[in-house]
Amino acid sequence: MPLQWSGLSPALFLALDRESLEPLRAQLERRVRDAIRTGRLEVGERLPSSRELARSLGLSRGLVQDCYAQLQAEGYLVTRVGSATRVAAGACGAPATPVPPAACPHLLADFKWGVPDLRSFPLADWLWAMREAARTMPTAALDYGDPRGDAHVRDVVAGYLRRVRAAAADPERIVVCSGYAQGLGLALRALARTGIRTVAYENPGSPATVSSAASAAGLSAIPVPVDAHGIDVQALSATEARAVVVTPAHQWPTGVVLAPERRLALIEWAVRRDAVIIEDDYDAEFRYDREPVGALQGLAADRVIAIGTVSKSLAPALRIGWLLCPPALVDQIIDNKRLSDRGSPTLDQLALATMMESGRFDRHLRRMRTTYAARRTALLAALAEHAPDVTVTGLAAGFHAVAQLPAPTDEQHLIAAAEARSVGLYGMSACRVTAPPTAPPTTAPSTTTPVQLVLGFGNVGERAITAGIAAVGDLLRGRVLSPPPAA
């Protein structure tokens, strides 16, 4: 898309060689022509006025006007009365209008996991908070500042976490980061500097995310099984890991809560092994029919790095998160943050703090709990009507559910069949590690194993949920038993 300018003339870099025997006008024509041919100047893009270009290059205005006239005659430029000189449509074979990117196919319902309701983002509140933060912030806040984040923001976030998550949140040990991925990377690099070489993670869980971050930090990553009570601490103890990434409040993706005895066993393992627990507190704000579960960090602040973000509570695009750091690791994590980007955007931090202090953040969360609860109800009702034999779990919190299909089928064929009906379904296999990452499977995977689907309902409305489940009800009942024969 060409730049749109109002008022002032745009800048344009053109280098002229005054020592050359080539006349300046010929050089200028060639430079502008080459800029159009190579795509530096796009179709419809505005050029500087003849007066401004002459001033910036130290040329006479008449020379620049003659250059523009010549290029207009050649079809490179177009000029209209009362309008600026622009790159002509079709110049050197360029398309008259930009070719739009291929549109994503429209889905009747897309049960993609991990995405909140983007349409419900409180844009008016966020714009108000941005304006209020910009109006009231001190001029010094525009400097680089503390890599941990703005001191006032860390105070506000600490108070929120103490109040809502029962965390042991000390503002001096909070580091504001750009989302979970950066927070995990900062934590793992700090652990690597202490001599830790292996990090464990839940299986099923987020194998790609943890493995990639671990590899970047120079660590190896190994999966540990999860059962109905959370991560298997006994299996964890059998590994050589001295760090583990867990989702204790709402295990991703099974939705189970880490049982109280497992919490204590996990902390005992960390003390005994001199290990560190990385707690991913990704969607604990959204719970429906269960008692609130406090952060694991509140029980062992010296052994837990807690990572939280607003990606699920507000929107992933904000890229705002935080780490609650143990005393022994806070300095190393701060150093990593300083080297990474010198600190997250301050104005965005201040806007979030303003949202929290004003009560608008809590109000948004209350509204979204009601919205997600209604969608959860719609999902259960649709499954009860169109696929009554499907077992659904993990619905006590968050905005996704796990559906256990009653009959064996092929997961990829099921997903493809649903996509052909304009419904997006996603399998649990993407969250599982079925063999050691360094060893290939010894046998081909079975095509007749029971399938589990992870149904995200955060960004799909109630009507779409009902229509989508109705469209694939027969598939969920097990009508797709095997892939179609090859053509």
24-93 has CATH 1.10.10.10 classification: yes
H or E stretch covering 87: strand 86-87
Q: How confident is residue 128, by pLDDT bands cut at 50, 70 and 90?
A: very high
How confident is the model over 140-159, as pLDDT tens digits?
Answer: 999 999 999 999 999 999 99
224 - beta bridge partners? 202
The mean per-residue pLDDT over the stretch 107-132 comes to 97
Give me the pLDDT at residue 109, please.
97
Contact 320, 267 (CB under 8 A): no
Q: What is the pLDDT of residues 307-337, one digit of tens each?
A: 999 999 999 999 999 999 999 999 999 999 9
Rounded to the nearest 10°, the torsion over CA 89, 94, 97, 99 is 180
pLDDT for the residue 84: 85
**Structurally, what CATH architecture does the domain formed by 121-361 represent?**
3-Layer(aba) Sandwich (3.40)
Q: What are phi and psi of 416, to 5 degrees?
A: -65, -40
Q: Which of helix, strand or coil describes residue 315?
A: coil
* pLDDT tops 50 at residue 64: yes
Structure tokens of 124?
Answer: 């008016």
DSSP state of 313: T
- CATH class held by domain 366-479: alpha beta
Do 107 and 422 meet the contact criterion of CB atoms below 8 Å apart? yes
> Domain residue spans in the chain?
24-93, 121-361, 366-479
CB atoms within 10 A of CB 423: 22
Residue 463 pLDDT > 80, yes or no?
yes
| pLDDT reported for residue 447 | 46
| pLDDT recorded at residue 216 | 97
3-state secondary structure of 341: helix
